[in-house]
């Protein structure tokens, strides 16, 4: 039964889900859950449980808000706007600040190599932790661009900013992250 849904657009699926078709909602979830999770990673930090909770919260809000979805607007923009709001709310609610502890970095690196045997997972967790410290306006662009692979034009539409502003925010965020990573690598080299 769900195979009939594969060829439908997101908007068509949203309209079916709006009318109570649960298989249409499942298809929306299957199409977008991983992208939403990647977009929320910079809000959740390295805690996979928090990331799963935030992703679920997005889709609960989608269910609750489908009646307000306007089909003339691209569905992914509407969906990722909900995701960013969930991420922002999480940042406001959380009491514990996620930070990169230099002792933790020391423990994940090999003693023989200044950079060590950093696995992709360790690098990803470290970058996510660094991204959590970016200003909100930069974190949003990074989350949508890197997390979800969204083009700058769409990011601009989702955030309600000019495309040049989205590109500028990404450029500044990358510069800040490079500086922070450089400090981390330098710390490792002097030990």
Q: Is the dihedral of CA 96, 98, 101, 106 positive or negative?
A: positive
Task: Please report which residue ranges of 66-135 form alpha helices under DSSP H.
Answer: 75-93, 102-108, 120-131
Name the more confident of 127 and 136.
136
The 3-state DSSP class for residue 84 equals helix
- The radius of gyration computed from the CA coordinates of the chain, to the nearest angstrom, equals 19
pLDDT of residue 42: 85
Domain residue spans of the chain: 2-189
- Say what percent of the chain tops pLDDT 90: 48
Q: Is the pLDDT of residue 186 over 70?
A: no
b/e code 18-29 from CB counts within 10 Å (16+ = b): beeeeebbebbb
**Do the beta carbons of residue 28 and residue 62 sit within 8 Å?**
yes
Give residue-wise pLDDT tens across range 10-22: 999 999 999 999 9
Question: Could you give the CA distance from residue 23 to residue 31 in angstroms, rounded to a whole number?
Answer: 12
- Rounded to whole angstroms, what are the CA distances from 7 to 10, 54, 107, 136? 10, 28, 49, 36
Residue 103 confidence (pLDDT) above 70: no
Is 0.85 surpassed by the pTM of this model?
A: no
């Amino acid at each position: 039964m769900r195979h009939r849904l594969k060829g439908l657009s997101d908007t068509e699926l949203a309209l079916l889900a709006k009318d109570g078709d649960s298989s249409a909602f499942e298809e929306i979830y299957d199409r977008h859950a991983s992208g939403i999770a990647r977009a929320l990673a910079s809000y959740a930090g390295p805690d996979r449980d928090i990331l799963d909770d935030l992703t679920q919260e997005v889709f609960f809000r989608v269910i609750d808000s489908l009646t307000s979805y306007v089909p003339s607007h691209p569905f992914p923009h509407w969906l990722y706007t909900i995701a960013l709001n969930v991420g922002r709310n999480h940042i406001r609610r959380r009491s514990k600040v996620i930070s990169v502890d230099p002792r933790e970095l020391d423990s994940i690196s090999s003693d023989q190599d200044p950079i060590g045997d950093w696995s992709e997972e360790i690098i990803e967790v470290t970058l996510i932790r660094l991204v959590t410290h970016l200003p909100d306006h930069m974190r949003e662009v990074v989350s949508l661009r890197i997390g979800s692979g969204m083009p700058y034009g769409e990011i601009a539409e989702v955030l309600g900013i000019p495309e040049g502003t989205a590109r500028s925010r990404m450029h500044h965020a990358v510069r800040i992250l490079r500086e922070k990573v450089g400090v981390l690598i330098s710390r490792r080299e002097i030990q």
